[in-house]
């Protein structure tokens, strides 16, 4: 593509300048015709958020993305720039990206008036047509819109009534582009009032200058609904001027959550070792977040960010990597006991209600991990708890135990005979595997239901540990944790030994 260098050349080329919202609309229509992905990497919004965004663009609306933390609001907003034209022409050196055909600022108006079609132009890439501001209480109108510049007036020997002394704010500097305000409720109400004209009349005024500068801009806001009551609020007249309010949400399926975590987490490390994560481990990590979003101890108004699972996955891999480096093992393979080391990724990312604070963040986090293991265990293995069934109407009221879930009888019996297993994340794979192989029937259960290759020690050992911890979560066997050592033993022995310790 040959770029015109002057306004005259631009006119001869037949180039038409479109308002930014018409430009977005045109490009979205073309991408829809070509079946292109408009927001690559945004998972789980294909049938909810993205269609609403497309409708807003087609309607030429400003947008507010409303949702709890960690729902990809800012990420989506930053991807809007990819829907713009690759380049647009502006008058060379203009601070507010003036349209060569209809300049706005005094400098460009004077240039066109003096030199006409000989005025030079430059081509602005789409990346420079994006502006973003995090709303904080100290943001001023001058930051957003502009103010007079005494230094410019002095150096250029201009009167204070001269338009040339204006120092443009970030919004005018994003003219003919997209401007994003993150966390809108944190913006002071008087500053939100200053956005009225931009939102409705599309013009700005600075310090009482008798001028109005019509801006060509699309504004996108992001906000957390909890902010409406906790830290600030969005004033009603401003909300009324925003064309489309689009609600975001957390992943609605475990599969979507896994895809997001795989995409965002740093899993493939640079230590030269192979990282292998069984799929059921990915499910456990995601299930932690799902359990937190249902927990009565977690403040649901605050939300549970997708960053929780990302941090948990990275901590999980790091602990397995640390072990592999320490024992010079070739494979980074997580264990259930490694889940204790994902706690730092949970405790700082959940807000607890009063009851949760009473329990403590560590205890609540461990309970969430336990519930996650329990839920995933049920997906792969028979339910360890006996269920009542009725053979006939006459026998109703006389529950009988099903015999189909006696798969674990040999394992439980082994522990009932006074045996126990002690494992930790600090054990090399051979020692870890040998300790778990002591349990009679454990390897067979893991191999049968998880389809694990017996020759793969890493996979088999972790699968056997998963079975043991699943049985513990269903109260079939006991588990003690002391100094990162997990001891699995008989439930009855554990109860009496704990009572004995309390008596002494």
Q: Are residues 368 and 427 in the same domain?
A: no
Q: Say if CB 241 and CB 184 are below 8 A apart.
A: no
Q: What is the DSSP string of 226-281?
A: THHHHT----HHHHHH-SEEEE----SSHHHHHHHHHHHS--S-SSS-EE---HHH
Among 52-66, 160-174, 202-216, which is the least confidently predicted range? Answer: 202-216
Confidence of residue 167 (pLDDT cuts 50, 70, 90): confident
Q: Flag whether pLDDT at 494 surpasses 60.
A: no
Tokens, residue 305? 């960010």
pLDDT value at position 400? 40
Average pLDDT of the residues in 390-408: 52
Determine which of 28-32, 117-121, 394-398, 425-429 has the lowest per-residue pLDDT on average.
394-398
pLDDT above 60 (res 372): yes
Q: Residue 24 falls within a domain, yes or no?
A: yes
- Asked whether residue 392 is assigned to any structural domain, the reply reads no
Q: Is residue 21 part of a domain?
A: yes
pTM: 0.88
Q: Are residues 136 and 219 in the same domain?
A: yes
Residues 235 and 371 grouped into a single domain: no
Give yes or no: residues 137 and 208 share one domain.
yes
> Looking at the domain assignment, is residue 85 inside a domain?
yes
Across the chain, mean pLDDT equals 89
Shared-domain flag, residues 230 and 303: no
Work out how many domains the chain is built from and give that number: 3
In a domain, 393, yes or no: no
How does DSSP classify residue 350? Answer: -
Backbone phi, psi, residue 251, to 5°: -55, 135
400-420: average pLDDT: 79
Beta strand ranges found along 294-333 (DSSP E): 331-332
Task: Say if residues 389 and 402 touch (Cβ distance below 8 Å).
Answer: yes
Smallest Cα–Cα separation from 333: which of 341, 342, 343, 323? Answer: 323
Cα–Cα dist 155/161, whole Å: 15
Own/partner long-range contacts of 294-300 (Cβ < 8 Å, ≥24 apart): 295/356, 295/364, 295/368, 296/353, 296/355, 297/352, 297/353, 297/355, 297/356, 297/359, 297/364, 297/367, 298/350, 298/351, 298/352, 298/353, 298/356, 298/364, 299/350, 299/351, 299/352, 299/353, 299/356
Range of the domain at 241: 7-247
- Same-domain check for residues 285 and 338: yes
C-alpha span between 413 and 490 (Å, rounded):
9
CATH assignment of the domain containing 311 = 1.10.8
Please work out, in degrees rounded to the nearest 5, the angle formed at the alpha carbon of residue 331 by the alpha carbons of 325 and 333. 95
Q: Do residues 68 and 143 share a domain?
A: yes
C-alpha 297/C-alpha 357 separation (Å) is: 8
Local structure of residue 438 (DSSP, 8 states): T
> What confidence tens digit (pLDDT) does each residue in 437-475 have?
999 999 999 999 999 888 899 999 999 999 999 999 999
If asked whether residues 243 and 259 sit together in one domain, one would say no
Query: Are β-strands 146-148 and 166-168 bridged in parallel, bridged antiparallel, or unpaired?
Result: antiparallel
Residue 503 has pLDDT above 50, yes or no: no
Same domain assignment for residues 243 and 307: no
- CA atoms of 425 and 373, how far apart (whole Å): 17
Q: Which residues, in sequence order, are CB contacts of 393 under 8 Å at separation 6+? A: none
Tens digit of each residue's pLDDT (9 = 90 or more) over 257-267? 999 999 999 99
Establish if 58 belongs to a structural domain.
yes
pLDDT of residue 404: 40
Q: What is the DSSP letter of 440?
A: T
Q: Which two tokens stand for residue 286?
A: 């995601």
What value, to the nearest 5°, has the Cα angle with vertex 477 and ends 475 and 481? Answer: 100
Same domain (yes/no): 143, 38 = yes
Contact present, 96 and 135 (Cβ < 8 Å): no
* In a domain? residue 2: no
Maximal C-alpha separation, the chain: 104
Say yes or no: 165 and 261 in one domain: no
Q: Is 177 helix (H, G, I), strand (E, B) or coil?
A: strand
Domain boundary among 380, 414, 434: 380
Q: Does 301 have pLDDT greater than 50?
A: yes
Same domain, yes or no, for 88 and 134?
yes
- Cβ(278)–Cβ(465) below 8 Å: no
pLDDT bracket for residue 399 (50, 70, 90): very low
Residue 374 belongs to a domain: yes
Residue 100 belongs to domain with CATH number:
3.40.50.300
């Amino acid at each position: 593509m040959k770029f015109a260098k002057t306004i005259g050349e631009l006119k001869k080329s037949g180039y038409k300048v479109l308002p930014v919202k018409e430009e977005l609309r045109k490009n979205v229509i073309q991408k829809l015709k070509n079946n292109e992905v408009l927001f690559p990497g945004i998972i789980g919004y294909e049938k909810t958020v993205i269609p609403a965004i497309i409708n807003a663009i087609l309607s030429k609306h400003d947008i507010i993305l409303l949702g709890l933390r960690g729902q990809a609001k800012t990420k989506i907003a930053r991807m809007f720039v990819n829907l713009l034209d690759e380049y647009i022409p502006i008058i060379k050196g203009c601070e507010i990206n003036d349209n060569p055909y209809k300049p706005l600022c005094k400098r460009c108006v004077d240039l066109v008036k003096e030199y006409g079609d000989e005025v030079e132009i430059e081509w602005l890439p789409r990346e420079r047509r994006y502006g973003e501001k995090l709303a904080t209480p100290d943001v001023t109108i001058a930051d957003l819109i502009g103010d007079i510049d005494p230094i410019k007036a002095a150096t250029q020997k201009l009167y204070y009534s001269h338009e040339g002394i204006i120092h443009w704010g970030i919004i005018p500097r994003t003219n003919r582009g997209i401007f994003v305000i993150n966390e809108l409720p944190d913006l002071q109400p008087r500053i939100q009032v200053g956005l009225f004209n931009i939102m409705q009349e599309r013009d700005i005024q600075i310090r009482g200058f008798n001028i109005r500068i019509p801006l060509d801009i699309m504004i996108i806001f992001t906000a957390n609904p909890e902010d409406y009551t906790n830290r600030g609020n969005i004033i009603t007249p401003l909300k009324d001027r925003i064309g489309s309010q689009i609600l975001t949400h957390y992943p609605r399926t475990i599969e979507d959550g896994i895809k997001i975590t795989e995409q965002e987490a740093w899993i493939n490390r640079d230590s030269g070792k192979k990282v292998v994560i069984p799929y059921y481990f990915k499910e456990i990590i995601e299930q932690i977040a799902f359990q937190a979003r249902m927990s009565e101890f977690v403040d649901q108004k605050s939300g549970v960010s997708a960053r929780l699972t990302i941090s948990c996955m990275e901590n999980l891999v790091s602990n397995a990597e640390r072990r592999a480096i320490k024992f010079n093992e070739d494979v980074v393979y997580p264990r259930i006991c490694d889940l204790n080391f994902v706690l730092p990724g949970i405790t700082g990312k959940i807000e607890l209600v009063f009851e949760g604070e009473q329990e403590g963040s560590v205890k609540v986090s461990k309970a969430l991990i336990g519930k996650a293991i329990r839920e995933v265990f049920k997906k792969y293995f028979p339910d360890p708890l006996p269920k009542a069934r009725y053979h006939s109407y006459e026998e109703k009221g006389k529950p009988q135990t099903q015999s189909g879930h006696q798969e674990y009888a040999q394992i439980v019996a082994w522990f009932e005979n006074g045996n126990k297993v002690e494992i930790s994340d600090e054990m090399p794979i051979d020692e870890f595997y040998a300790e778990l192989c002591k349990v009679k029937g454990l390897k067979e259960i893991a191999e049968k239901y998880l389809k694990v290759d017996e020759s793969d020690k890493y996979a088999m050992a972790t699968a056997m540990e998963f079975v043991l911890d699943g049985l513990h979560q269903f109260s079939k066997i006991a588990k003690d944790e002391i100094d990162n050592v997990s001891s699995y033993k008989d439930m009855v022995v554990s109860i009496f030994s704990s009572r004995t310790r309390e008596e002494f």
